[in-house]
Amino acid sequence: MPLSVVGVSHDTAPVEVRERLAFGASEASQALLSIRREEGIQEEVLLSTCNRTEIYLFPSHAERSRSVVERVLSRKAGFSEDAVRQYLFQISGEAAVRHLFHVSTGLDSMVTGEAEIQGQVKEAYERAATLPVDPPMAGPVLNRLFQMALSVGGRVRAETPIGEGSASVASVAVELARKIFGSLQGKRILILGAGVTGELIVEALAREGIRGIVVANRTHERAVELARKHRGHAIPFEQISEALRSVDIVLSSTAAPHPVLTRSIVRDSFDKPRPHPLLIIDIAIPRDVDPAVGDEPEVFLYNVDDLRKIVDDHVQIREQALPKAAGIIESHSEEFRVWYSSLALVPVIRRMRKEARRHRDHELDRLLQGMSHLTEEDRERVREFSRRLVNKLLHQPTVRLRKGMARGGGAELVDAVRFLYGLEESDGPPPPLFRSEDSRAEVFRADEIEGNQRAGD
Predicted confidence (pLDDT) per residue in 74-123, tens digit: 888 888 888 888 899 999 888 999 999 999 988 888 777 777 788 889 99
Backbone φ/ψ region at 213: left (φ over 0), alpha (ψ -120 to 50), beta:
beta
Among 276, 298, 302, 272, which Cα is nearest to 289's?
302
Helix (H, G, I), strand (E, B) or coil at 47: strand
Q: Which backbone phi and psi does 92 adopt, to 5 degrees?
A: -130, 160
Helix pair 116-130, 25-36: axis angle to 10 deg = 50
pLDDT band for position 447 (cuts 50, 70, 90): very low
Question: Is the pLDDT reported for residue 149 higher than 90?
Answer: yes
Give the per-residue pLDDT at 316: 72
Model's pTM, two decimal places?
Answer: 0.59
Higher pLDDT, 177 or 448: 177
Whether residue 138 is predicted with pLDDT greater than 80 in this model: the reply is yes
Closest to 107 measured CA to CA, from 319, 383, 382, 407: 319
Q: What is the pLDDT of residue 5?
A: 92
Per-residue pLDDT tens over the stretch 7-60: 998 888 887 788 788 888 888 898 998 888 776 678 899 998 877 899 999 887
Choose the weakest-confidence range: 278-282, 318-322, 407-411, 428-432.
Answer: 428-432
Residue 322 binned pLDDT confidence (cut-offs 50, 70, 90): confident
Lowest-confidence pick of 56-65, 345-354, 444-453:
444-453
> How much of the chain, in percent, has pLDDT values that exceed 70?
85
* Proportion of the chain above pLDDT 90, given as a percent: 17
Q: Which CATH class is domain 4-163+321-338?
A: alpha beta
What pLDDT, on the 0 to 100 scale, is given for residue 100? 94
pLDDT score recorded for residue 171: 74
Between these two residues, 289 and 454, which has the higher pLDDT value? 289
Mean pLDDT for 193-218 is 81
Give me the pLDDT at residue 128, please: 92
Q: In Å, how far are 86, 100, 345, 436, 449 from 444, measured between CA atoms?
A: 41, 24, 10, 11, 8
Residues classed as catalytic: 50
Cα separation, 73 vs 51, in Å, equals 15
Superfamily name and number for 182-308:
NAD(P)-binding Rossmann-like Domain (3.40.50.720)
According to DSSP, residue 238 is labeled G
Q: Does residue 197 carry a pLDDT above 50?
A: yes
Grade residue 168 by pLDDT with cuts at 50, 70 and 90.
low
What whole-number distance in Å separates Cα of residue 168 and Cα of residue 174? 10
Question: Which pLDDT band holds residue 410 (cuts at 50, 70, 90)?
Answer: low
**Residue 384 or residue 407, greater confidence:** 384
d(CA 229, CA 247): 19
Q: What value does the mean pLDDT take over residues 280-284? A: 87
Mean residue pLDDT of the chain comes to 80
> pLDDT value at position 446?
38
Does the pLDDT of residue 423 top 80, yes or no?
no
> Is 334 buried (19+), middle (13-18) or exposed (0-12) by CB count in 10 A?
middle
The more confidently predicted of residues 131 and 431 is 131
Interval 227-256: pLDDT, tens: 888 888 999 988 888 899 889 999 988 878
Give the model's confidence band at 166: pLDDT under 50 very low, under 70 low, under 90 confident, else very high: low
Cis preceding-peptide flag for 297 (omega within 30 of 0): no
For the chain, domain boundaries = 4-163+321-338, 182-308, 343-455
Measured distance CA(2)–CA(92) in Å, rounded: 7
Higher-scoring residue by pLDDT: 439, 429: 429
Q: Given this model, what pLDDT does residue 429 score?
A: 40
Of 164, 89, 161, 149, nearest in space to 119 by CA: 149
Neighbouring C-alpha atoms within 13 Å toward the C-beta of 113: 27
> For residues 135 and 344, which has the higher predicted lDDT (pLDDT)?
135
Q: What is the mean pLDDT of residues 263-267?
A: 89
Residue 321: DSSP 8-state: T
Alpha-carbon distance of 216 to 413, in angstroms, equals 72
Residue 450's pLDDT band (cuts 50, 70, 90)? very low
pLDDT band at 61 (very low <50, low <70, confident <90, very high): confident
Q: Which of 223-232, 241-250, 323-332, 413-422 has the lowest mean pLDDT?
A: 413-422
Predicted confidence band of residue 275 (pLDDT cuts 50, 70, 90): confident
Taking residues 267-293, report their average pLDDT.
Answer: 84
58-34-77 Cα angle (round to 5): 105
Whether residue 89 contacts residue 62, with contact meaning beta carbons closer than 8 Å, is answered with no
d(CA 329, CA 155): 10
| Cβ-contact 346, 446 below 8 angstroms | yes
